[in-house]
Amino acid sequence: MRYFRTIHNRGVGFYQSVLRPLAFRFDPEWVHGLAGRLIDTGLGGGSFTDPRLQQTLFGVKFANPVGLAAGFDKNAEHTAAWPNFGFGHVEIGTVTARPQPGNPRPRMFRLPEDQGLINRMGFNNAGAEVVAGHLRNRDAFPIGINLGKNKDTEPAGAATNYLLAFEKLRGLGDYYVINVSSPNTPGLRSLQEKGPLMEILGTLRNADAAARFFIKVAPDLMPSALDDVISVAHDGGATGLIATNTTISRDGLTRDPHQDGGLSGRPVREKSDAVLAHLAGNCNLDLILIGVGGIFGADDVIRKIQLGAHLTQLYTGWIYGGPQLVPTILRDLCARMDRDGVRNIQEYHRQELPRFA
């Protein structure tokens, strides 16, 4: 116990200098499983609250703008624990209508020189029914539910397949995400095109006009394709957009491990920022934007808010930064606000947009 308290007190530095080198000796997915068991204890974590970080968006109160991105808590097994690590929300999933095992292992690879990860998990998850069971007695903490298509569902049946997952999870999420941007389900990303995307969003909205739907996009889309997504979001009544998922590009890597899959972390940061800026510069002001990709510190969070994000999320940064990362980011956000003479986090919103749009 004293050992864990020491870890807690020494924070990010101790994780990065001692625990992370140890953990990085083992298979990433095995470490992930072990971390899952430790997460529920809250050990090594910590929270930080400040009213200047709070926002109410689409009727949901967020204690701070930093959430855990989809893919870590795929089956909603740790939702009670995430506030203990400082997160302001969690996006669970990707969840599919039917359970599926995902791709064969190994399917997750670290790129320490570039602070990146490559994954080709392929939506391994317990299925919407089991996940719904985990969410029935959930706490008041904001939860998004990220929905995907089963691998063996043909593109023509995609809308029905998303609907099947949604029906089982209806009423359990504060928002839902139409994930059409993971590179590890063949054909999934073509669902970002206008016709199929409109069909999926329309089908879900017909089933529940009150639920809030977001569309999560890839960092590899051309501006014209992003404009199509924006027009679907406007016409179809989406609540917002999430920019971005992982990239299929391998640009600028120090060492390319030549593994198939989506690349995340530092190497995706510029692409995600550019997509976010394009979306913010071209969408109606009432669309909520969530910025994700390459966040490792408070400056990354502020930059995404300045580019137009209302909320942010991270995944890879947590693997590299450890359990103290989010409280550290939140403290640093407040220090930056003091320095900049900013009264609340929303004052940064869209400050940098004109330069990028």
Ligand X SMILES: Cc1cc2nc3c(=O)[nH]c(=O)nc-3n(C[C@H](O)[C@H](O)[C@H](O)COP(=O)(O)O)c2cc1C
Catalytic residue set: 182
Q: Which is nearer to ligand X, 240 or 293 (CB)?
A: 293
Q: How far apart are the first and last CA of the chain?
A: 51
Cα separation, 136 vs 76, in Å, equals 11
Q: Which is nearer to ligand X, 148 or 338 (CB)?
A: 148
State the nearest-atom distance from the C-beta of 292 to ligand X, in Å.
Answer: 5
Q: Which is nearer to ligand X, 5 or 190 (CB)?
A: 190
Q: Which is nearer to ligand X, 85 or 315 (CB)?
A: 315
Q: Which is nearer to ligand X, 10 or 70 (CB)?
A: 70
Q: Cβ-closest residue to ligand X? A: 71
State the nearest-atom distance from the C-beta of 296 to ligand X, in Å.
Answer: 8
State the nearest-atom distance from the C-beta of 1 to ligand X, in Å.
Answer: 30
| C-beta separation of 318 from 289 below 8 A | no
Q: Which is nearer to ligand X, 142 or 293 (CB)?
A: 293
Q: Which is nearer to ligand X, 4 or 24 (CB)?
A: 24
State the nearest-atom distance from the C-beta of 217 to ligand X, in Å.
Answer: 10
Cα separation, 323 vs 328, in Å, equals 10
Interface positions with ligand X (CB under 6 A)? 69-71, 74, 93-94, 108, 117, 119, 121, 123, 146, 179, 182, 216, 245-246, 264-265, 268, 292-295, 314-317
Cα separation, 63 vs 60, in Å, equals 10
Cα separation, 172 vs 174, in Å, equals 7
| C-beta separation of 124 from 100 below 8 A | yes
State the nearest-atom distance from the C-beta of 35 to ligand X, in Å.
Answer: 12
Give the 3-state secondary structure of the chain: CHHHHHHHHHHHHHHHHHHHHHHCCCCHHHHHHHHHHHHCCCCCCCCCCCHHHCEEECCEEECCCEEECCCCCCCCCCCCCHHHHCCCEEEEEEECCCCECCCCCCCEEEEHHHCEEEECCCCCECCHHHHHHHHCCCCCCCEEEEECCCCCCCHHHHHHHHHHHHHHHCCCCCEEEEECCCCCCCCHHHHHCHHHHHHHHHHHHHHCCCCCEEEEECCCCCHHHHHHHHHHHHHHCCCEEEECCCECCCCCCCCCCCCCCEEEEHHHHHHHHHHHHHHHHHCCCCCEEEEECCCCCHHHHHHHHHCCCCEEEECHHHHHHCCCHHHHHHHHHHHHHHHHCCCCHHHHCCCCHHHHC
State the nearest-atom distance from the C-beta of 20 to ligand X, in Å.
Answer: 16
State the nearest-atom distance from the C-beta of 62 to ligand X, in Å.
Answer: 18
